[in-house]
């Protein structure tokens, strides 16, 4: 297959970028499930932007820099924050309905780390509203093709094909899951918009599709990655052990509206950890909860918003209220049990402000990328802002600078001597072991010993997985397992490189931040994944 622009992923970054590129180019979107099934869909809180008369850019910039713990790239923060109102207007013009007050001004929420109310939302279904509207617009375009149930396997690069010193991305091999065939897609530009890798952890707020595919493929292709040790654990996911590792996110917006964190005896504790209490940055709140749980031996703590009017809760948090009620919890009457869970990657494929990676013709946008906006810890609701901003910048760069001809011939996928895998248990066993290992050893609080043990165990697992991969025909499960294993290795390697505690990375052997460590952690391909 041939296309001008290939986009891998169908979240807010990929869809908004496609809409802008379709003015001049034919665009193909590859997504491994239905197009709606992206991390964007599950975003409850909203998108942060300066929209109120009592707010200003400098305040949003300052809040972002504070949350980022000294690693934010200030030029990136400045540009994205200042473009916020323009990008919000674009979303509204596409048809996104953000909540408004009676005077038709936006109903702005406040979340942890923000000094003002600046979070635009659509109740507690903001992501679903964004995804639905953008997908509807994409489907209207005759120049955009969506390939659902297609999972990318590997990027095709000139260096791998011709063993030349120069390296550029030429396209991608994808598995059509329903057809069970592998297709070669050739493109002038390839854009990774495939989200994060939350499924590398046992407990996560992410959907099953978040297996780090884009980051792992970029790494294997030779692109530079950065800051993978900074994994954000959302402080509050509903504690439902009967559901297994399926975690329902309880939006930070509840704490923005006055919800309190409490121990089982009903006492509050956040005042002991930060002056902003429940509205402290996410890394601090997650560590505080982890500390209190380990101290008491409890499996969860409580989140309580029952003191607010019942009708307000039902209207403002209709989806959370309804979902909790189905699971046996009434937000309006009682506190609910919550625990932290893996949520968002601040690191990823290193890009410039145009979305370009270190690999020619390869772009990365959204959670897949590391732009420097988030630093060592993401400020709440800056992720959707970054996604639309970087999609905008990447599309402008591509519209201006794309003149290359599509290569006419690339070799088809070569399965070698691979055979059918009749023992799927080999895959599920490794999948479960990786996720539990990462949760226990590379979680909210880390140590040198745990990280070293995790690295040794991952080396053995990787050896097994690579044996499976090269012995058996590829399936979607095997592709995801390979990518999860790659991401686990890279997270551990990045965490071992950082000899301090900063933002989301907390190592009990290096409890303090150091000026000498105030730099990005860079990872490049070593040839073993």
pLDDT at position 407 is 65
The widest CA-to-CA distance across the chain, in whole angstroms, is 68
DSSP for 223-284, please give it: --EE-TT-EEEEEEEE--GGG-SB--B--THHHHTT-EEE-TTS-B-GGGT-TTGGGS-HHH
pLDDT at position 166 is 75
Which one, of 278, 286, 295, lies nearest residue 339 by Cα? 286
User: Which CATH code, of 3.40.50.2000, 3.90.50.10, 3.40.50.720, 3.50.50.60, is assigned to 2-229+346-401?
Assistant: 3.50.50.60
Q: What is the pLDDT along the chain (529 residues), one digit of tens a residue?
A: 999 999 999 999 999 999 999 999 999 999 999 988 877 777 777 999 999 999 999 999 999 999 999 999 999 999 999 999 999 999 999 999 999 998 889 999 988 889 999 999 998 788 889 999 999 999 999 999 999 999 999 999 988 777 666 789 999 999 999 999 999 999 999 999 999 999 999 888 888 899 999 999 999 999 999 999 999 998 999 998 776 656 788 988 899 899 999 999 999 999 999 999 998 888 889 999 999 998 898 989 999 999 999 999 999 999 899 999 999 999 999 999 999 999 999 999 999 999 999 999 999 999 999 999 999 999 999 999 999 999 999 999 999 988 767 666 788 888 777 787 767 788 889 999 999 999 999 999 999 999 999 999 999 999 999 988 888 889 999 999 999 999 999 999 999 999 999 999 999 999 999 999 999 999 998 765 5
Cα–Cα distance measured from residue 36 to residue 39, given in angstroms and rounded to the nearest whole number: 9
Token representation of residue 19: 């809409």
Cα–Cα distance measured from residue 270 to residue 69, given in angstroms and rounded to the nearest whole number: 20
In DSSP terms, which residues pair with 37 in a beta bridge?
none
pLDDT at position 246 is 61
pLDDT at position 406 is 64
Q: Which residues are catalytic?
A: 282
State the CB neighbour count (10 A cutoff) for residue 127.
23
pLDDT at position 117 is 94
Report residue 65: phi and psi, to 5°: -65, -40
pLDDT at position 163 is 62
Class of the CATH domain delimited by 237-341: alpha beta
Backbone dihedral region of 436: left (phi > 0), alpha (psi from -120 to 50 degrees) or beta?
A: alpha
Report residue 353: phi and psi, to 5°: -75, 0
pTM (2 d.p.): 0.92
In sequence order, what are the residues at sequence separation of 6 or more whose Cβ sits closer than 8 angstroms to the Cβ of residue 243?
Answer: none
Q: Are strands 144-147 and 27-30 parallel, antiparallel or unpaired?
A: parallel
Report residue 208: phi and psi, to 5°: -65, -20
Domains 237-341 and 425-512 share a fold: no
Cα–Cα distance measured from residue 338 to residue 305, given in angstroms and rounded to the nearest whole number: 13
Token representation of residue 253: 């917006």
Q: Where are the domains of the chain?
A: 2-229+346-401, 237-341, 425-512
Can you tell me which residue has the tokens 């979240």?
A: 11
State the CB neighbour count (10 A cutoff) for residue 440.
13
pLDDT at position 421 is 73
Cβ contact 432:200 at 8 Å: no
User: Which CATH code, of 2.40.160.20, 1.10.3720.10, 1.20.120.430, 1.20.58.100, is assigned to 425-512?
Assistant: 1.20.58.100
Cα–Cα distance measured from residue 476 to residue 482, given in angstroms and rounded to the nearest whole number: 10
Token representation of residue 39: 């991390």
pLDDT at position 404 is 65
Q: Return the DSSP state at 172.
A: E
Q: Return the DSSP state at 515.
A: G
Cβ contact 488:438 at 8 Å: yes
Secondary structure of residue 391 in the 3-state scheme: helix
Cα–Cα distance measured from residue 433 to residue 445, given in angstroms and rounded to the nearest whole number: 19
Which one, of 231, 246, 218, lies nearest residue 486 by Cα? 218
pLDDT at position 365 is 98
Cβ contact 507:447 at 8 Å: yes
């Amino acid at each position: 297959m041939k296309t001008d622009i290939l986009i891998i992923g169908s979240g807010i970054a990929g869809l908004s970028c496609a809409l802008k590129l379709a003015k001049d180019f034919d665009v193909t979107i590859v997504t491994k499930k239905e197009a709606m099934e992206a991390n964007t869909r599950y975003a409850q809180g909203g998108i942060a932007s300066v929209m109120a008369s009592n707010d200003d850019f400098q305040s949003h910039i300052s809040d972002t820099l504070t949350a980022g713990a000294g690693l934010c790239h200030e030029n990136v923060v400045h540009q994205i924050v200042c473009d916020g109102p323009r990008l919000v207007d674009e979303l509204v013009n596409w048809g996104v309905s953000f909540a408004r007050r009676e005077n038709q001004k936006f109903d702005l929420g406040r979340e942890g780390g923000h000094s003002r109310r600046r979070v635009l939302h659509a109740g507690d279904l903001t992501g679903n509203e964004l995804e639905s509207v953008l997908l509807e617009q994409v489907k209207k375009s005759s120049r955009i093709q969506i390939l659902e149930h297609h999972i990318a396997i590997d990027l095709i690069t000139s260096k791998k094909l011709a063993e030349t010193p120069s390296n550029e991305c030429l396209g991608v091999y994808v598995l059509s899951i329903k057809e069970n065939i592998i297709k070669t897609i050739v493109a002038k530009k390839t854009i990774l918009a495939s989200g994060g890798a939350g499924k590398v952890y046992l407990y996560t707020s992410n959907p099953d599709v978040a297996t780090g595919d884009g980051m792992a493929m970029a790494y294997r292709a030779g692109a530079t990655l950065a800051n993978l040790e900074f994994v954000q654990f959302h402080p509050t996911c509903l504690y439902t052990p009967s559901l297994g590792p399926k975690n329902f996110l309880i939006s930070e917006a509840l704490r923005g509206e006055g919800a309190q964190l409490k121990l089982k005896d009903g006492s509050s504790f956040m005042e002991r950890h930060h002056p902003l209490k429940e509205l402290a940055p996410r890394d601090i709140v997650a560590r505080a909860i982890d500390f209190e749980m380990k101290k008491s031996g409890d499996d969860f703590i409580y989140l309580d918003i029952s003191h607010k009017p019942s009708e307000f809760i039902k209207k403002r948090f209709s989806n959370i209220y309804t979902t909790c009620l189905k699971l046996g919890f009434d937000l309006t009457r009682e506190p609910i049990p919550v625990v932290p869970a893996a949520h968002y990657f601040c690191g990823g494929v290193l890009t410039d402000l145009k979305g370009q990676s270190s690999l020619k013709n390869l772009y990365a946008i959204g959670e897949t990328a590391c732009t420097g906006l988030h630093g060592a810890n993401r400020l709440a609701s800056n992720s959707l802002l970054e996604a639309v901003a970087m999609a905008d910048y990447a599309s402008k760069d591509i519209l201006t600078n794309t003149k290359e001809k599509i290569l006419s011939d690339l070799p088809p996928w070569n399965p070698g001597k691979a055979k059918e895998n009749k023992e799927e248990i080999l895959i599920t066993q490794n999948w479960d072991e990786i996720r539990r290992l990462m949760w226990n050893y590379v979680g909210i609080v880390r140590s040198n010993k745990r990280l070293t043990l995790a690295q040794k165990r991952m080396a053995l697992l990787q050896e097994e997985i690579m044996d499976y991969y090269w012995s058996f025909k590829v399936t979607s499960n095997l592709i995801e397992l390979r990518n999860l294993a790659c991401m686990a290795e890279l997270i551990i390697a990045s965490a071992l490189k950082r000899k301090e505690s900063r933002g989301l990375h907390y190592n009990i052997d290096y409890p303090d931040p150091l000026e000498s460590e105030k730099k990005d952690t860079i990872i490049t391909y070593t040839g073993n994944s």
